[in-house]
């Protein structure tokens, strides 16, 4: 692809964060863009994840751009393929696909102080330059492969959920699943349908609450398409439902009872479904609901009551070529091992590429030595003209990923509006503003479930190495207000 350099902006990541950012940049008048992605298609996590049972676990009307409602969701919780199709449709409608370059692994980005541009190096050694750098790499993009002795020597099929192999047939096989996070909760019931024998290796049990899923009737879809206001009203209810899950975690002092009530629903579901007390005990989390990402399923617990499904929670000692040995000395012979072991979030994701700012400052190293701090979850001093979208310290506003992206594009509206008004070349958040914001978030965080609740033993990726979290400890309404009205003096413009 021949592009005129410097580009207006380089966006790293062609998932919803990258698509939303590019749409916003176009709206702001920037049309010389490149969206770089290491995968061979757009969609981010919805392209990479293709495991059986994949579906959204936030109501679909809420899990979409506000400016682009989709009247065609087939279910309240749409399957993964439909969400990927939605990503394609939005990219095409807003004509941002033409900026996308796939199979392009971005290695690093370096601020060039002389020319006031970002130099972005991709894996084949090519360097692109751009005025603005936007990373939209998500925070679930670096798969975690556990370092268990012998894992490399396993002779059967081994697959991480982010690298699903559609050609492998699980029918009639002996399968092991490692992990019991949100992915495993969706996958295990599906694998149990095919496998002759399924063993789940659990380290930490997870709270699972019923999923109020149903097919959205064709008549209702037609109504949403013809009278968009009806879908807005429907979305208001699904937004409220999602907010109700998140709000008690943020307002834990006042809403402790509500926060804990969800845990009772989860334990009631276990009580009704599982008669075996020992199995029920093993599946019962010993930490508060909300310390970990909530999960929803109507068949996860029931799957463990099937005679060919087994739960092992005694820890894995090693993996042999033909099976898994747990610390009680028992060997489980396996044909296939599925790693539902999630992602390296704090180690290799913040940031997902090397970013070198003013004076050679390395963002990843700086965050690791000084703490993960980013103004409004997006901008960092010494990194001019850089925006981290959809993944940053205190970025996640809880309601849905789309709300976060759209609140962040409001930030871009205000920031770039001022940049244009001043006819400036660069913006850079001040140290004082970044520190004041981060101090405030850290103080507010002390009032949330993550700090006041019983989260010890949850092994939650919500927590960073020094106690910081990705979760914004304010209501979504407050985030919205702040992103649209932050003080412009928090930035220096040149």
Q: Is residue 459 near ligand NAP by the rule CB under 6 A? A: yes
Residues between 358 and 377 that touch ligand NAP (CB under 6 A): none
DSSP string, 385-438: TEEE-S-STT-B-SS-HHHHHHHHHHHHHHHHHHHHHTT-S-EEE-HHHHHHHH
Binding segment toward ligand NAP, per CB under 6 A, in 341-349, 383-391, 404-412, 464-472: 341-349
| Nearest C-alpha neighbor of 188 from the set 282, 178, 267, 83 | 178
Cβ–Cβ under 8 Å, residues 212 and 76? yes
121 scored as a contact of ligand NAP (CB under 6 A): no
Q: Which stretch binds ligand NAP (CB under 6 A): 53-61, 113-121, 368-376, 473-481?
A: 53-61
Do the Cβ atoms of 230 and 223 come closer than 8 Å?
A: yes
- 75 binds ligand NAP, rule: CB under 6 A: no
Residues 126-165 binding ligand NAP (CB under 6 A) are 140, 144, 146, 148
CB of 426 to ligand NAP, least distance (A): 34
Residue 182 CB, nearest approach to ligand NAP (Å): 4
User: Does position 313 bind ligand NAP by CB under 6 A?
Assistant: no
| Residue 125 CB coordination number (10 Å) | 7
* CA quadruple 115, 137, 412, 36: dihedral sign: positive
341 touches 180 (CB < 8 A) = no
Could you identify the residue written with the tokens 């941002």?
A: 96
The nearer residue to ligand NAP, 64 or 382, going by C-beta atoms, is 64
Give residue number: closest CB to ligand NAP: 181
- Residue 178 or 391 with smaller CB distance to ligand NAP: 178
181 scored as a contact of ligand NAP (CB under 6 A): yes
Exactly one of 13, 44, 61, 342 binds ligand NAP (CB under 6 A); that residue is: 342
Query: Could you say which residues in the range 193-212 bind ligand NAP, by CB under 6 A?
Result: 203-204
Shortest Å distance, C-beta 66 to ligand NAP: 18
Q: Where are the alpha helices (DSSP H) in 40-136?
A: 45-48, 80-93
**Residue 182 near ligand NAP by CB under 6 A:** yes
Residue 34 or 200 having the CB closest to ligand NAP: 200
Residue whose CB is less far from ligand NAP, 178 or 395: 178
Helices marked H in 98-142: none
Residue of 238, 262, 341, 403 interacting with ligand NAP (CB under 6 A): 341
What does the per-residue mask of binding to ligand NAP show for 461-490, with x meaning CB under 6 A? x-----------------------------
C-beta closer to ligand NAP: residue 110 or 235: 235
Between CA 352 and CA 142 the distance in angstroms is 8
- Give Cα separations from 173 to 176, 191, 275, 305, 341 (angstroms): 10, 10, 27, 19, 21
Instruction: Select from 64-72, 190-198, 335-343, 359-367 the region that touches ligand NAP (CB under 6 A).
Output: 335-343
DSSP of 458-486, one letter per residue?
---TTB-TTS-BSB-SS-HHHHHHHHHH-
Rounded Cα–Cα distance for residues 245 and 485 (Å):
26
398 binds ligand NAP (CB under 6 A): no
> What is the rounded CA–CA span in Å between residue 187 and residue 276?
23
CA-wise closest residue to 435 among 373, 491, 387: 373
User: Looking at beta carbons only, is 181 or 384 nearer to ligand NAP?
Assistant: 181
Beta strand pairing call for 7-12 and 323-326:
unpaired
List 39, 41, 57, 317, residue binding ligand NAP (CB under 6 A): 57
Q: Of 138 and 351, which has the nearer Cβ to ligand NAP? A: 138
Residues engaged in binding ligand NAP (CB under 6 A): 55-57, 140, 144, 146, 148, 178-184, 186, 203-204, 293, 340-343, 459, 461
């Amino acid at each position: 692809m021949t592009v005129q350099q410097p580009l207006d902006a380089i966006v790293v990541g062609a998932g919803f964060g990258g698509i939303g950012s590019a749409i916003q940049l176009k709206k702001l008048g920037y049309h010389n863009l490149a969206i770089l992605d290491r995968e061979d298609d757009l969609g981010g996590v919805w392209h990479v994840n293709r495991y059986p049972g994949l579906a959204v676990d936030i109501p679909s009307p809420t899990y979409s751009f506000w400016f682009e409602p989709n009247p065609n969701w087939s279910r309240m919780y749409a399957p993964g393929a439909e969400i990927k199709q939605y990503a394609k449709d939005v990219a095409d409608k807003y004509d941002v696909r033409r900026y996308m370059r796939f199979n392009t692994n971005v290695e690093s980005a370096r601020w060039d102080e002389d020319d006031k541009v970002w130099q972005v190096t991709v894996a084949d050694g090519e360097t692109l330059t751009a005025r603005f750098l936007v990373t939209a790499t998500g925070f679930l993009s670096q798969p975690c492969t556990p370092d268990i002795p012998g894992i490399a020597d396993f002779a059967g099929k081994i697959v991480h959920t982010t690298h699903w192999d559609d050609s492998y047939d699980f029918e009639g096989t002996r399968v092991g699943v490692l992990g019991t996070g949100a992915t495993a909760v969706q996958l295990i019931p599906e694998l149990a349908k095919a496998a002759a024998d399924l063993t789940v290796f659990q380290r930490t049990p997870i709270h699972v609450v019923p999923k109020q899923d149903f097919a959205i009737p064709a008549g209702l879809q037609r109504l949403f398409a013809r009278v968009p206001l009806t879908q807005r009203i429907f979305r208001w209810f699904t937004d409220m439902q999602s907010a109700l899950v998140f709000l008690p975690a943020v307002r834990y002092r006042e809403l402790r009872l509500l926060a804990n009530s969800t845990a009772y629903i989860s334990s009631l579901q276990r009580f009704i479904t599982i008669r075996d007390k020992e199995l029920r005990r093993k599946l019962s989390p010993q930490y508060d609901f909300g310390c970990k990402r909530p999960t929803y399923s109507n068949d996860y617990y029931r799957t463990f009551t099937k005679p060919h499904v087994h739960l092992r929670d005694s820890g894995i000692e090693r993996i042999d070529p033909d099976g898994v040995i747990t610390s009680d000395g028992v060997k489980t012979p396996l044909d296939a091992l599925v790693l539902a072991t999630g992602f390296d979030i704090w180690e290799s994701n913040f940031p997902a590429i090397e970013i070198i700012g003013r004076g050679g400052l390395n963002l990843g190293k700086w965050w690791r030595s000084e703490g993960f701090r980013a103004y409004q979850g997006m901008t960092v001093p010494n990194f001019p003209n850089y925006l981290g979208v959809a993944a940053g310290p205190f970025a996640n506003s809880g309601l849905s990923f789309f709300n976060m992206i759209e609140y962040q594009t409001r930030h871009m509206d205000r920031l770039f509006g001022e940049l244009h008004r001043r006819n400036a070349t660069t913006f850079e958040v001040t140290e004082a503003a970044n520190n004041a914001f981060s101090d405030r978030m850290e103080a507010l965080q002390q009032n949330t479930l993550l700090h006041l609740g019983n989260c010890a033993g949850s092994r939650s990726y919500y927590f960073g190495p020094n106690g910081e979290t990705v979760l914004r400890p304010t209501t979504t309404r407050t985030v919205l207000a702040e992103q649209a009205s932050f003080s412009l003096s928090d930035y220096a413009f040149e």
